[in-house]
Amino acid sequence: MQKPRISMIAAIAKKDRAIGKDNALLWHIPEDFQHFKNTTSGHAIIMGENTFKSIGKALPSRINIVLSLTPDFAPEGCLMVHSLDEALAVAKEHESEEIFICGGASVYKQMISYATRLYLTLVEGNFEADTFFPEYGEFTKVVSEEKIDTGEYAFTFVVLER
């Protein structure tokens, strides 16, 4: 049996890798939400407690794995884990194809060394942020790229591999 690919998915500011402020996203881009849903549906997703709280519920059609250091935090519809190793082990029990790391910043930073693929939405513009995606210079192979301009936002869906 093949090991599942470990991927990260995030919308980041193209200029400085900004991803959030005050535990909230910096933008509301419906096309990015749809892209996230289409890409991750049917797979295991791993996220930190704060990211889960910002979403507010388990995401449908996915195995939701929430990494938390809070012992009694147990949201409905989620598998709770308390370490990165446990998160990956639980994900591998439920997923044979692709595991998605979906934030937040601390989880991205700790897990980027495990990832072999990045699904990034690179958003044009300057944003005030307190949270950033880690440096990803090792990911140099462009698998796909699609530029979109909605009028309100210009962004690029890009898939990168090491």
For 11-39, how does the pLDDT look when each residue is reduced to its tens digit (9 = 90+)?
999 999 999 999 888 999 999 999 999 99
Tokens (6 digits) for 135: 């440096």
Q: What is the pTM of this model?
A: 0.94
For 62-104, how does the pLDDT look when each residue is reduced to its tens digit (9 = 90+)?
999 999 998 888 889 999 999 999 999 999 999 999 999 999 9
DSSP 50: H
Average pLDDT over residues 126-153: 96
For 146-162, how does the pLDDT look when each residue is reduced to its tens digit (9 = 90+)?
999 999 999 999 999 99
Instruction: Map out the domains of the chain with their CATH numbers.
Output: 5-161 (3.40.430.10)
Contact (CB, 8 A) for 112 and 134: yes
Tallying the residues shown for the chain, one arrives at 162
Contacts of 91 (CB under 8 A, 6+ apart): 4, 44, 46, 63, 65, 99
For 45-64, how does the pLDDT look when each residue is reduced to its tens digit (9 = 90+)?
999 999 999 899 999 999 99
Separation between Cα atoms, residue 55 and residue 142, nearest integer Å: 29
In DSSP terms, 144 is beta-bridged to 159
